[in-house]
Amino acid sequence: MKHVNLHRLVNTNQMRNTFFIACTLLVSLFTCLTSFGQERKIREADIFWKKRVVNRISLIEKINKPLVTHAPSYYGQDDQYAETDGIVVSLINGVRGGKYQAIHPDNWDHEMNYAELRERMEEFEKDLMGDSQWEEEEDDVFAPANDFLMEETDDLSSQEREDTQVEGEAMLEGEDWPFEELEAGTANEPVEYIDNTFDHTNFEKVLHIVEDWIFDKGSSEMVQRIAFFEIIWVDPSGSLPEQVLARFKWEDVKEQMEQTKWQNMHNDGESKSMKEIVALRRFNSLVIHLGNRPIRSLHEAIQAKRELVEFEHNLWSY
């Protein structure tokens, strides 16, 4: 009889432990699901350690290419995401749509609208071509490119050339042009042009994510809080230094990132928002600034990332 009671007691304890573990897992899963879409607030008193970290994302790297992949037109307009041309184009389109303002990299108080941002982008692109390519004298605009075009008039005298020119002008005056006249009332109506011809290629090479790494002693975990993005202009020839186009505060662009599509390049069945990708940290980056210390080499960047991992590990004791 005692043996039967002991057996029942063991089974009861096992069921109780299994139930407790299952409840704990369900609570943890529910907490993760509810806090995934929103950033958990951290009390100032619970900030045990904090460090400003600047991550450089090379957008031409294979793992990072989905961040700037432009969706082809073959998929139609039934997509659930409003922005399908990558994170850089989405940030710029948000300024174009008036959702938020871009911040000038030299002055935090200087907010740029789309016209000013576009002007700054065009200035960077003009640096590639140089001013000399656009400076032409008025007299040389219609000058022939080579001597081949002048072969027919080389053997004519000056008087014959003048007569030929007068004859040509007379023919033009008497010629009826085969163009239809505009309808009445349409001559003075303004024509609206949509400019979609700007090439963003040189702005889709590098992206900086500036964030704060915080160790929350209330939950005993390391938390990454994004402060802002930086779009970097890169000279394709490598002769001109990189320049920061603009900055975008994370608080301003969070909604825009929710509407921006990240597409798996190997599986059309998997797509996420850019906000989810950033939260899941599905990108590769190098640390180029750690606190007040600038990183000047690849070896230092790898070492800095290792320091962050080891610091969090050493906070625990076993």
pLDDT in tens, 21-38: 665 555 455 444 444 445
User: CB neighbours of 144 closer than 8 A, spacing ≥ 6?
Assistant: 150
Main-chain phi, psi angles of 116, to 5 degrees: -70, -40
- The pair of structure tokens assigned to 9 is 């007691």
Sign of CA dihedral 135, 140, 142, 144: negative
Instruction: Please report the pLDDT score of residue 1 as a whole number.
Output: 46
- The pair of structure tokens assigned to 22 is 């299952």
Label residue 164 by pLDDT band (50, 70, 90).
low
pLDDT at position 42 over 80: yes
Measured CA to CA, the distance from residue 164 to residue 149 in angstroms comes to: 16
pLDDT at position 226 over 50: yes
What's the rounded mean pLDDT across residues 131-146? 45
Q: Which amino acid is at 33?
A: L
* pLDDT greater at residue 236 or residue 285: 285
Measured CA to CA, the distance from residue 253 to residue 193 in angstroms comes to: 28
pLDDT at position 180 over 60: no
pTM of this structure: 0.67
Helix (H) or strand (E) run with residue 137 in it: none
- The pair of structure tokens assigned to 269 is 């069945």
Label residue 2 by pLDDT band (50, 70, 90).
very low
CA angle 262–267–271, rounded 5-degree value: 30
* pLDDT greater at residue 90 or residue 154: 90
- The pair of structure tokens assigned to 111 is 């907010």
- The pair of structure tokens assigned to 296 is 């000047």
Q: Which amino acid is at 241?
A: P
Label residue 239 by pLDDT band (50, 70, 90).
confident
Specify the DSSP class assigned to residue 64.
G
Instruction: Please report the pLDDT score of residue 109 as a whole number.
Output: 93
pLDDT tens digits for 74-103? 877 667 888 999 999 999 999 999 999 999
Torsion (CA) 293, 295, 299, 301 in degrees, nearest 10: 90
Instruction: Please report the pLDDT score of residue 142 as a whole number.
Output: 43
H helix runs in the chain, sequence order = 2-36, 87-96, 114-129, 151-154, 158-174, 250-258, 274-280, 298-314
Instruction: Please report the pLDDT score of residue 268 as a whole number.
Output: 84
Instruction: Please report the pLDDT score of residue 178 as a whole number.
Output: 54
* pLDDT greater at residue 247 or residue 181: 247
Of 93, 120, 71, the C-alpha closest to 253 is: 93
Lowest mean pLDDT among 45-54, 161-170, 195-204, 221-230: 161-170
Average pLDDT, rounded, for the chain: 77
What's the rounded mean pLDDT across residues 243-258? 94
Measured CA to CA, the distance from residue 275 to residue 253 in angstroms comes to: 9
Label residue 269 by pLDDT band (50, 70, 90).
confident
CA angle 100–104–110, rounded 5-degree value: 75
* pLDDT greater at residue 266 or residue 17: 266
* pLDDT greater at residue 142 or residue 226: 226
Sign of CA dihedral 178, 183, 185, 186: negative
Of 58, 90, 95, the C-alpha closest to 261 is: 90
pLDDT at position 10 over 80: no
Label residue 314 by pLDDT band (50, 70, 90).
confident
pLDDT tens digits for 181-196? 555 555 555 554 445 5
CA 104 to chain centre: 16
Measured CA to CA, the distance from residue 62 to residue 265 in angstroms comes to: 10
